[in-house]
A = this chain, B = another copy of it.
């Protein structure tokens, strides 16, 4: 690959002049500029981004780490929506996205440390916010811009986040089910060590308490966001017999689809006997049978916003501090109905 020196040599100028032309600096004579561009063209020169990064201490890269590279993670709509929002904004501002894979949460933290510590990105979007690891504390020490998806459990004015108000909207879903006459309502959460799961559980509990309903501990289960997790939750809860739930709330559509599958296998009619609500507003939910009622969470929009905050922070040099919320929306379809009498 040709370097700036090759171009300089061919154009008969000093390398610094070539650099000035390519970094859009002013005070270059038209003639010189043309000679340089011609030489560059002839040689097929493109500035080496790595060298530039080293000098400028800026990579034009936004980092994200996939919390857990396993099949189920890529079946839900969450990851692609996050990527969509992120790529849209990154693309618009000329940033690239660096994606790290990980084999679990400890490893995720290691990877974030690594990427940040080795200065491979100018900013980070923190996807999974776990309760058992202080990723945020670590990131603050690194003094690198980052934005958290979801409000951290220990809110600080130092940390920027975009939040979907999980607790509030989960409570709203449960209230909707209660309004349909349901009293035995199941909660199928994701990974119990992830903040969003706890938030949703709190919303669930609050709504039930409001209505004077004392939930059975057996109504709460964790499906770790995979289809089979929802399926298995039904297998367990069905054993409760007359105390089995008449409605299920699942923390993503994938698990809700698993719930539908389990009910279908047992010939339990939805929504006549049991109602089901998913989360995320995926396309699969719209096309499921019966069409799935789901709490739409605007993950693409959230990530787009997070990316914007990040880029602004990188460009101004000011620490990101914006804390904002997005609104979710309960999309009511055919999988929910009045409680059986």
Nearest CB in chain B: distance from A294 CB, A: 13
A residues touching B (Cβ–Cβ < 8 Å)? 1, 44, 46-54, 59, 61, 66, 69, 71, 73-75, 77, 79-81, 83-84, 87-88, 90-91, 96-103, 113-115, 117-120, 141, 227, 254, 257, 260-261, 282-284, 287-290, 300
In the bound complex, residues from chain B placing their C-beta under 8 Å from that of A71 are 84, 300
In the bound complex, residues from chain B placing their C-beta under 8 Å from that of A77 are 75
Closest to A97 in B: B99
Residue with the highest number of chain B CB atoms closer than 10 Å, among A73, A114, A287: A287
In the bound complex, residues from chain B placing their C-beta under 8 Å from that of A54 are 48, 50-51, 54
In the bound complex, residues from chain B placing their C-beta under 8 Å from that of A254 are 283
Judging by beta carbons under 8 Å apart, are B46 and A114 in contact? yes
In the bound complex, residues from chain B placing their C-beta under 8 Å from that of A52 are 118
**A51-B54, A80-B75, A88-B69 are contacts. A46–B117 as well, Cβ < 8 Å?**
yes
Closest to A63 in B: B96
Alpha-carbon gap, A282 to B71, bound state (A): 12
Other-chain residue from B80, B99, B288 in contact with A87 (beta carbon distance below 8 A): B99
Instruction: State the oligomeric state as a number of copies.
Output: 2
In the bound complex, residues from chain B placing their C-beta under 8 Å from that of A102 are 91
Residue with the highest number of chain B CB atoms closer than 10 Å, among A51, A283, A289: A283
Judging by beta carbons under 8 Å apart, are A99 and B101 in contact? no
Other-chain residue from B115, B227, B289 in contact with A289 (beta carbon distance below 8 A): B289
21 A-B pairs in the complex with CB atoms less than 8 angstroms apart: A44-B141, A46-B118, A48-B54, A48-B118, A50-B118, A50-B120, A69-B88, A74-B83, A74-B84, A74-B300, A79-B80, A80-B80, A87-B101, A91-B103, A97-B99, A98-B99, A227-B283, A261-B287, A282-B284, A287-B287, A288-B288
In the bound complex, residues from chain B placing their C-beta under 8 Å from that of A46 are 113-114, 117-118
In the bound complex, residues from chain B placing their C-beta under 8 Å from that of A103 are 91
Closest to A77 in B: B75
In the bound complex, residues from chain B placing their C-beta under 8 Å from that of A289 are 287-290
Alpha-carbon gap, A53 to B52, bound state (A): 12
In the bound complex, residues from chain B placing their C-beta under 8 Å from that of A114 are 46
In the bound complex, residues from chain B placing their C-beta under 8 Å from that of A50 are 50, 53-54, 59, 118-120
Other-chain residue from B49, B120, B284, B287 in contact with A119 (beta carbon distance below 8 A): B49
Alpha-carbon gap, A80 to B72, bound state (A): 11
**A69-B91, A91-B102 are contacts. A257–B287 as well, Cβ < 8 Å?**
yes
Alpha-carbon gap, A287 to B276, bound state (A): 14
Judging by beta carbons under 8 Å apart, are B96 and A84 in contact? no
In the bound complex, residues from chain B placing their C-beta under 8 Å from that of A260 are 287
Judging by beta carbons under 8 Å apart, are B87 and A66 in contact? yes
